[in-house]
């Protein structure tokens, strides 16, 4: 765990208390207006979390990064997949999402070859402004029945390569490891 300042906590899922996990889930349910299911929450667990609190101690922003494997150009790349980025309604567009992303990017840069995420149209501006880019090539997954193309994910999957990092073939496909629920 590390505290960047009084209101920001960075911790692994295993370090979060049951109360903190309930707070995170409540924030996500509210921020996504009920469109954040149990599988979505499961996808956000098992990695590093950023929790931002206001002066009164209330959780106002969250994001996590979990490890996934992405096959690209014949290699399985250790990828930091960003999940569950949310800011409490009424506090958006004040830099809290950027604060969360700065911490998540720090983790990605130190622990992964590549960062990836799936963004809504509403959230895309945050990621683009931070140097994330829409993946121009194909998107797929390594399903239990073999590789499958996911055309519905093309145009909403973003990648970020840490400075000095790997070179990716923009015409190539990114095949993500399989998981229940939304694959991306």
Chain segment 66-104, per-residue pLDDT in tens? 999 999 999 999 999 999 999 999 989 889 999 999 999
Per-residue confidence at 122, pLDDT binned at 50, 70, 90?
Answer: confident
The strand pairing partners of 3, in sequence order, are 9
Show Cβ contacts of residue 143 under 8 Å, excluding neighbours closer than 6 positions.
Answer: 178
Average pLDDT over residues 170-177: 97
| Nearest CA among 92, 67, 66 for reference residue 78 | 67
Provide the pLDDT for residue 93: 87
How far apart (Å, rounded) are the C-alpha atoms in residues 57 and 54? 5
The strand pairing partners of 116, in sequence order, are 81, 159
CATH for 2-177 (3.40.50.9100, 3.40.50.2000, 3.40.630.30, 3.30.1130.10): 3.40.630.30
DSSP helix/strand/coil, 31: helix
| Residue 135: pLDDT over 70 | yes
Q: Furthest-apart CA pair in the chain: how many Å?
A: 50
C-beta atoms surrounding 152 within 10 Å: 11
């Amino acid at each position: 765990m590390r505290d960047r300042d009084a209101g920001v906590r960075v911790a692994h899922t295993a370090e979060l208390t049951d109360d903190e996990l309930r707070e995170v889930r409540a924030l996500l349910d509210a921020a996504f207006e009920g469109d954040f299911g149990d599988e979505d929450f499961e996808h956000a667990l098992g990695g590093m979390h950023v929790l931002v609190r206001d002066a009164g101690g209330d959780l106002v922003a969250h994001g996590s990064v979990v490890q996934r494997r992405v096959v690209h150009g014949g290699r399985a790349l250790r990828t930091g997949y960003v999940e569950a980025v949310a800011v409490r309604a009424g506090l958006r567009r004040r830099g809290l999402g950027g604060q969360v992303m700065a911490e998540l990017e720090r983790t990605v840069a130190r622990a992964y070859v590549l960062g990836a995420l799936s963004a809504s149209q509403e959230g895309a501006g945050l990621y683009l402004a931070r140097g994330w880019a829409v993946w121009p090539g194909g998107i797929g997954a390594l399903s239990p029945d073999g590789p499958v193309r996911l055309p519905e994910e093309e145009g909403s999957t973003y990648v970020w390569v840490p400075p000095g990092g790997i070179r990716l073939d923009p015409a190539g496909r990114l095949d993500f490891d399989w998981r229940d629920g939304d694959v991306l």
